[in-house]
Amino acid sequence: MHAYYLSTMVGLLQDRRVSEAQLLRGTGLESIYTPQKASISAAQMDRVCTNAIALAEDKQFGLYLGAHINISSQGIFGYALMTSPKVGDALKLLVRYSRVILPSVQIEVQQHAGRVEVLLTARHLPLDLKRFYSEVLFAAIVHNGSLLIGNPSVSSHLELDYGAPESCDHYEQLFGPDILFDSDRCALGFDEASLEIPITTANPVAQDIFRRECDRLASLDSRRGGVSDRVQQLLLQAGSEFPTGAAVAHQLHMSESTLQRRLAAEGCKYQQLLDQVRYRLAQEYLVSTTLPVAEIASLLGFSDATNFRRSFKRWSNTTPSVIRREGVRSRQSRMADPGKVKTA
């Protein structure tokens, strides 16, 4: 799926007198079309985008790229989004295939207090690269959202974890005036009612076909080199006894040093993946069960609730009690209005 995004990037950079060869320097890729035949790793994608940032000589290049990504030209993934019934269904697909589209970042969709938010996290990336991915993602969502629903007037709220530029004109043209810089997170928010907006090109029969094809392509990508995905699956299957990195390497039939090298090539470390799995399970326990926090801490391998709370705060910038309260409110809201779409 990467070739569609890379070709758009090349086109914009060629307008700035930058060649494809310059963009791919140091990546090991001979052409932007290589990913159609062989998987592109997270490290290669990061290097391409790092090159793009430097060559464009424009810190807002991510905004330009995102605003030029047209869903109708994004192949099977674009068709899957276009044929989704509602905006909420399209967001589900975005999360489902996010690791294939942007392999170095984590994308989540959360609902609370009448709002729906798309959050991007990438703690291991340099700030400039995280900024680039955030702006590409959010600009593409807003740009293509208006195309999907034929309604450019849906209001949004944007939070970015870096300072405001000298001019915010381009940001306001894309997202409107409700923008918060120097936030502690990267998030794009909408009214929850936006999830129910029908997509004008919805087609349930075609959508099923395109979604299954996306699943097939994602599966191929995973088998080609998604070691981080395989590690996460093993951790999720482990229950409360999380294996060490050495034990996981043994299960994957490689040495621990090889595992570390392969994960580094995908832009992550074993501890980061373990934290992601623990965080994901913690959210599920807090929202879907009434287990005491001490029991949840034990299930996640923490020695006590205090260490769990400290880690949860580091992962999410909030507390387990806040997540639990929001989960209760969300369940009560869905019970009062069962037609609501669950996106996360």
Pairing of β 115-121 and β 106-112: antiparallel
Pull the structure tokens for residue 126. Answer: 């340099």
Q: What is the mean pLDDT of residues 142-165?
A: 82
Q: What is the mean pLDDT of residues 131-156?
A: 83
pLDDT on residue 161: 94
Dump the DSSP string for 258-301.
HHHHHHHHTT--HHHHHHHHHHHHHHHHHHH----HHHHHHHTT
Q: Is the per-residue pLDDT at 309 higher than 90?
A: yes
Same domain, 168 and 231: no
Q: Is the per-residue pLDDT at 35 higher than 80?
A: no
Same domain, 91 and 165: yes
> CA dihedral in degrees (93, 99, 100, 101; nearest 10)?
80
Q: Minimum mean pLDDT among 97-101, 116-120, 252-256, 329-333: which range?
A: 329-333
Report how far apart the first and last C-alpha atoms of the chain are (Å, whole number).
23
Same domain, 173 and 245: no
- The answer to whether residue 154 is domain-embedded is yes
Q: Is the per-residue pLDDT at 149 higher than 80?
A: no
Same domain, 73 and 185: yes
- Which of residues 204, 235, 252 is at a domain's end? 204
Pull the structure tokens for residue 230. Answer: 């395989």
Q: How far apart are alpha carbons 117 and 175 in whole angstroms?
A: 14
- The answer to whether residue 9 is domain-embedded is no
Same domain, 155 and 238: no
Band (pLDDT 50/70/90 cuts) for residue 338 is very low
167 burial via Cβ count (<10 Å: 0-12, 13-18, 19+)? exposed
Q: Total domain count for the chain?
A: 2
Q: How far apart are alpha carbons 107 and 103 in whole angstroms?
A: 10
R_g of the chain computed on alpha carbons = 20
Q: How far apart are alpha carbons 9 and 7 in whole angstroms?
A: 5
Q: Minimum mean pLDDT among 70-79, 184-193, 262-271: which range?
A: 70-79
Same domain, 65 and 194: yes
- The answer to whether residue 28 is domain-embedded is no
- The answer to whether residue 251 is domain-embedded is yes
- Which of residues 204, 237, 268 is at a domain's end? 204
Same domain, 80 and 180: yes
* Enclosing domain of residue 80: 59-204
Same domain, 63 and 153: yes
Is the pTM of the predicted complex or chain greater than 0.75?
A: no
Same domain, 181 and 240: no
Q: Is the per-residue pLDDT at 298 higher than 80?
A: yes
Pull the structure tokens for residue 94. Answer: 């975005």
- The answer to whether residue 148 is domain-embedded is yes
Same domain, 188 and 296: no
Same domain, 261 and 190: no
Same domain, 78 and 166: yes
CATH number of 237's domain: 1.10.10.60
